[in-house]
């Protein structure tokens, strides 16, 4: 990834994060993976039969990924050479839903190998989860074309709101990423 892409990635968050759409597009996979949404939806519907909370878990995972260097799937990276995983940090030790995302990725790879990024899968799964949990059928249009991060930022998890933060701090952490009070209430109800 070159530095321009990296900067674009850091600036571009998903639609719930106010969204920069310089390079992202709702039609990004229309010709290369037209069935990505239906494949992801099928896996989530199935997962929900054994875990009714899976939607909330995925929305929270997406939120915690996006708060640190943008929605780049960095939260999915395990500890490795040069990678200090975000997963082990306090706000993230209670994150769940990784295996369902793995299942979606596998199913998507089966229909269009090497096309859809993990970051886009997380963003899509969060949007579908809102609808499966009783929200609007198409709560927002997912913008696609995110590139996956090759590094994690474990100390950056300090940007995630904590239940121990005072109100002003929580408010600032949301405004830092372009989210307003309504976003804060919606995401806090589901996510913190």
Ligand X SMILES: *[C@@H]1O[C@H](CO)[C@@H](O)[C@H](O)[C@H]1NC(C)=O
In the complex, which residues of this chain contact ligand X (CB under 6 A)? 35, 68-69, 89-91, 111, 153, 155-160, 162
Q: Looking at beta carbons only, is 31 or 50 nearer to ligand X? A: 31
Q: Looking at beta carbons only, is 3 or 50 nearer to ligand X? A: 3
Ligand-binding site membership of 161 (annotated): yes
User: In the bound complex, what is the minimum distance in angstroms from residue 52's beta carbon to ligand X?
Assistant: 26
Ligand-binding site membership of 68 (annotated): yes
Alpha-carbon distance 22 to 40, whole Å? 25
Q: Which two tokens stand for residue 105?
A: 């990725």
Alpha-carbon distance 53 to 95, whole Å? 12
Cβ–Cβ < 8 Å for 101, 118: yes
Q: Looking at beta carbons only, is 109 or 133 nearer to ligand X? A: 109
User: In the bound complex, what is the minimum distance in angstroms from residue 116's beta carbon to ligand X?
Assistant: 12
Ligand-binding site membership of 31 (annotated): no
User: In the bound complex, what is the minimum distance in angstroms from residue 88's beta carbon to ligand X?
Assistant: 8
Ligand-binding site membership of 34 (annotated): no
User: In the bound complex, what is the minimum distance in angstroms from residue 81's beta carbon to ligand X?
Assistant: 17
Please, is 139 exposed, middle or buried when counting C-beta atoms within 10 Å of its C-beta (0-12, 13-18, 19+)? Answer: middle
Over the Cα atoms of the chain, what is R_g? 16
Ligand-binding site membership of 163 (annotated): no
Cβ–Cβ < 8 Å for 65, 72: yes
Cβ–Cβ < 8 Å for 54, 97: yes
Q: Looking at beta carbons only, is 83 or 158 nearer to ligand X? A: 158
The residues annotated with a catalytic role in the active site are 64
Residue 128: how many other CB atoms lie within 10 Å: 24
Q: To which residue do tokens 């804060």 refer?
A: 184
Element spanning 60, H or E: helix 54-66
Feature table: binding site for Ca(2+): 65, 68, 70, 72, 74, 86
Feature table: binding site for substrate: 161
Feature table: binding site: 65, 68, 70, 72, 74, 86, 161
């Amino acid at each position: 990834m070159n530095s321009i892409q990296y900067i674009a990635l850091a600036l571009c968050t998903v639609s719930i994060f106010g969204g920069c759409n310089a390079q992202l597009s709702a039609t990004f996979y229309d010709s290369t993976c037209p069935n990505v949404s239906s494949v992801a939806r099928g896996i989530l519907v199935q997962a929900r039969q054994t875990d009714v909370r899976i939607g909330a878990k995925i929305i929270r995972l997406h939120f915690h990924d996006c708060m640190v260097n943008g929605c780049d799937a960095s939260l999915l990276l395990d500890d490795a050479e040069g990678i200090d995983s975000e997963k082990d940090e306090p706000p993230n030790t209670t994150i769940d839903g990784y295996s369902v995302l793995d299942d979606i990725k596998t199913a998507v790879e089966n229909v269009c190998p090497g096309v859809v990024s993990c970051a886009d899968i997380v963003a899509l799964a969060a949007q579908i989860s809102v609808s499966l949990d009783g929200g609007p059928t198409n709560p927002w249009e997912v913008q696609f074309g995110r590139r996956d991060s090759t590094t994690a930022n474990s100390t950056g998890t300090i940007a995630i709101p904590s239940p121990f933060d005072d109100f002003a701090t929580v408010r600032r952490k949301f405004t830092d990423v372009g989210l307003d009070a309504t976003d804060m209430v919606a995401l806090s109800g589901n996510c913190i």
